[in-house]
Amino acid sequence: MVRAWPSGVCAYNSAVVHTGIGYDVHRLVEGRPLWLGGVEIAHEKGLEGHSDADVLMHAICDAVLGAIGHGDIGSLFPPSEPQWKDAPSRIFLEKAAKLVKEAAGSIVNVDATLIAEVPKILPHVPAMKVAVAQALAIPTDRVGIKATTNELLGFLGRGEGMAGMAVAGVNLPD
Protein backbone atom coordinates (compact mmCIF):
# COMPACT_ATOMS: atom_id res chain seq x y z
CA MET A 1 0.00 0.00 0.00
CA VAL A 2 1.23 3.46 -0.88
CA ARG A 3 0.75 6.33 1.55
CA ALA A 4 0.87 9.94 0.39
CA TRP A 5 2.67 12.08 2.94
CA PRO A 6 1.86 15.79 3.33
CA SER A 7 5.17 16.64 1.70
CA GLY A 8 3.99 14.88 -1.43
CA VAL A 9 6.51 12.10 -0.94
CA CYS A 10 5.06 8.63 -1.36
CA ALA A 11 6.25 5.79 0.83
CA TYR A 12 5.44 2.13 1.06
CA ASN A 13 4.12 1.56 4.55
CA SER A 14 4.47 -2.21 4.57
CA ALA A 15 7.59 -1.91 6.69
CA VAL A 16 9.03 0.67 9.03
CA VAL A 17 12.62 0.99 10.17
CA HIS A 18 12.91 0.75 13.93
CA THR A 19 16.10 1.89 15.62
CA GLY A 20 17.80 0.61 18.75
CA ILE A 21 20.70 1.79 20.84
CA GLY A 22 23.26 -0.16 22.84
CA TYR A 23 26.01 0.77 25.28
CA ASP A 24 28.38 -1.42 27.26
CA VAL A 25 31.50 -1.14 29.39
CA HIS A 26 33.92 -3.79 30.59
CA ARG A 27 36.92 -3.53 32.87
CA LEU A 28 40.41 -4.28 31.47
CA VAL A 29 42.36 -6.85 33.48
CA GLU A 30 45.51 -8.91 33.11
CA GLY A 31 45.28 -12.59 32.25
CA ARG A 32 42.30 -12.36 29.91
CA PRO A 33 42.23 -12.52 26.09
CA LEU A 34 40.98 -9.37 24.36
CA TRP A 35 37.97 -10.02 22.15
CA LEU A 36 36.54 -7.08 20.20
CA GLY A 37 33.97 -7.35 17.43
CA GLY A 38 34.42 -11.12 17.31
CA VAL A 39 38.19 -10.84 16.77
CA GLU A 40 40.89 -11.82 19.26
CA ILE A 41 43.48 -9.05 19.45
CA ALA A 42 46.95 -9.45 20.91
CA HIS A 43 47.19 -7.14 23.93
CA GLU A 44 48.65 -7.23 27.44
CA LYS A 45 45.17 -7.06 28.97
CA GLY A 46 41.72 -8.36 28.18
CA LEU A 47 38.17 -7.48 29.14
CA GLU A 48 36.72 -8.94 32.29
CA GLY A 49 33.28 -10.51 32.16
CA HIS A 50 31.27 -13.68 32.44
CA SER A 51 31.33 -14.31 28.68
CA ASP A 52 34.26 -13.38 26.43
CA ALA A 53 33.33 -9.78 27.43
CA ASP A 54 33.33 -8.53 23.82
CA VAL A 55 32.15 -5.03 24.63
CA LEU A 56 31.56 -4.12 20.98
CA MET A 57 29.41 -7.17 20.21
CA HIS A 58 27.48 -6.63 23.46
CA ALA A 59 26.62 -3.05 22.48
CA ILE A 60 25.57 -4.20 18.99
CA CYS A 61 23.46 -6.98 20.50
CA ASP A 62 21.62 -4.53 22.76
CA ALA A 63 21.04 -2.18 19.81
CA VAL A 64 19.44 -4.97 17.76
CA LEU A 65 17.36 -6.14 20.72
CA GLY A 66 16.29 -2.56 21.43
CA ALA A 67 15.09 -2.09 17.86
CA ILE A 68 12.60 -4.94 18.31
CA GLY A 69 11.59 -3.82 21.79
CA HIS A 70 13.19 -6.84 23.43
CA GLY A 71 14.87 -7.06 26.82
CA ASP A 72 18.59 -6.47 26.95
CA ILE A 73 21.46 -8.94 26.63
CA GLY A 74 21.57 -9.48 30.38
CA SER A 75 17.97 -10.68 30.45
CA LEU A 76 18.58 -13.07 27.56
CA PHE A 77 21.89 -14.41 28.83
CA PRO A 78 22.05 -13.87 32.60
CA PRO A 79 25.63 -13.76 33.97
CA SER A 80 24.36 -16.02 36.76
CA GLU A 81 24.03 -18.91 34.29
CA PRO A 82 27.20 -21.03 34.09
CA GLN A 83 26.53 -22.00 30.47
CA TRP A 84 27.51 -18.48 29.32
CA LYS A 85 30.86 -18.58 31.12
CA ASP A 86 33.53 -17.52 28.60
CA ALA A 87 30.90 -17.91 25.84
CA PRO A 88 31.78 -16.33 22.48
CA SER A 89 29.59 -13.23 22.09
CA ARG A 90 28.87 -14.30 18.51
CA ILE A 91 26.21 -16.55 20.10
CA PHE A 92 24.45 -13.50 21.54
CA LEU A 93 24.34 -11.78 18.14
CA GLU A 94 23.05 -14.94 16.49
CA LYS A 95 20.25 -15.10 19.06
CA ALA A 96 19.38 -11.41 18.53
CA ALA A 97 19.23 -12.00 14.76
CA LYS A 98 16.96 -15.01 15.35
CA LEU A 99 14.60 -12.88 17.45
CA VAL A 100 14.46 -10.29 14.65
CA LYS A 101 13.51 -13.05 12.24
CA GLU A 102 10.83 -14.33 14.61
CA ALA A 103 9.41 -10.80 14.70
CA ALA A 104 9.19 -10.97 10.87
CA GLY A 105 11.87 -8.28 10.71
CA SER A 106 15.16 -7.82 8.92
CA ILE A 107 18.26 -5.99 10.10
CA VAL A 108 18.95 -2.98 7.88
CA ASN A 109 22.28 -2.01 9.40
CA VAL A 110 24.30 -1.74 12.57
CA ASP A 111 26.87 0.92 13.40
CA ALA A 112 29.19 0.76 16.39
CA THR A 113 31.96 2.75 18.02
CA LEU A 114 34.61 1.36 20.35
CA ILE A 115 36.13 3.76 22.87
CA ALA A 116 39.60 2.67 23.96
CA GLU A 117 43.02 4.30 24.27
CA VAL A 118 45.00 1.26 23.11
CA PRO A 119 45.58 -0.89 21.11
CA LYS A 120 45.15 0.42 17.56
CA ILE A 121 41.82 -0.87 16.31
CA LEU A 122 41.87 0.20 12.67
CA PRO A 123 43.89 -2.79 11.37
CA HIS A 124 41.27 -5.15 12.86
CA VAL A 125 38.15 -3.37 11.59
CA PRO A 126 37.75 -5.37 8.35
CA ALA A 127 37.84 -8.69 10.26
CA MET A 128 35.43 -7.31 12.88
CA LYS A 129 32.98 -6.28 10.18
CA VAL A 130 33.05 -9.78 8.71
CA ALA A 131 32.59 -11.42 12.14
CA VAL A 132 29.66 -9.16 13.09
CA ALA A 133 28.02 -9.52 9.67
CA GLN A 134 28.33 -13.31 9.79
CA ALA A 135 26.85 -13.50 13.30
CA LEU A 136 23.89 -11.33 12.27
CA ALA A 137 23.61 -12.96 8.82
CA ILE A 138 23.72 -9.61 7.01
CA PRO A 139 26.06 -8.28 4.30
CA THR A 140 29.37 -6.86 5.51
CA ASP A 141 28.59 -3.45 4.04
CA ARG A 142 25.65 -3.15 6.46
CA VAL A 143 28.08 -3.12 9.39
CA GLY A 144 29.87 0.05 10.49
CA ILE A 145 32.67 -0.19 13.02
CA LYS A 146 34.68 2.77 14.24
CA ALA A 147 37.03 3.43 17.10
CA THR A 148 38.06 6.49 19.02
CA THR A 149 40.09 7.26 22.12
CA ASN A 150 38.77 9.12 25.16
CA GLU A 151 41.59 11.68 24.89
CA LEU A 152 43.17 10.21 28.08
CA LEU A 153 40.18 11.40 30.11
CA GLY A 154 38.36 9.43 32.78
CA PHE A 155 38.41 5.67 33.34
CA LEU A 156 38.54 4.99 29.60
CA GLY A 157 41.42 7.40 29.20
CA ARG A 158 43.32 5.74 32.03
CA GLY A 159 42.91 2.39 30.29
CA GLU A 160 40.83 0.90 33.11
CA GLY A 161 38.23 -0.36 30.66
CA MET A 162 36.71 -0.11 27.22
CA ALA A 163 33.26 1.03 26.11
CA GLY A 164 31.15 0.19 23.10
CA MET A 165 28.24 2.12 21.62
CA ALA A 166 25.98 0.95 18.81
CA VAL A 167 22.82 1.69 16.88
CA ALA A 168 20.80 -0.72 14.79
CA GLY A 169 18.11 -0.30 12.16
CA VAL A 170 15.57 -3.08 11.82
CA ASN A 171 12.78 -3.28 9.25
CA LEU A 172 9.60 -4.47 10.92
CA PRO A 173 6.13 -4.96 9.46
CA ASP A 174 3.99 -1.84 9.88
Contacts of residue 80, defined as CB under 8 A and 6 or more positions apart, other chains included, come to none
Strands (E), the chain: 2-4, 10-12, 15-30, 34-36, 39-41, 45-47, 106-115, 143-148, 161-173
Nearer to Mg ion, 79 or 139 (CB): 79
Q: What distance lies between CA 29 and its chain's CA centroid?
A: 21
Nearer to Mg ion, 65 or 105 (CB): 65
Nearer to Mg ion, 18 or 58 (CB): 58
Supply the minimum distance, in Å, between the C-beta of residue 81 and Mg ion: 14
Supply the minimum distance, in Å, between the C-beta of residue 172 and Mg ion: 25
Q: Which residue, judged by CB position, is nearest to Mg ion in the bound state?
A: 58
Q: Return residues touching Mg ion (CB under 5 A).
A: 24, 58
Supply the minimum distance, in Å, between the C-beta of residue 166 and Mg ion: 12
Nearer to Mg ion, 159 or 172 (CB): 159
The secondary structure element, H or E, covering residue 94 is helix 90-102
The answer to whether the CB of 68 falls within 8 A of the CB of 98 is no
Supply the minimum distance, in Å, between the C-beta of residue 96 and Mg ion: 13
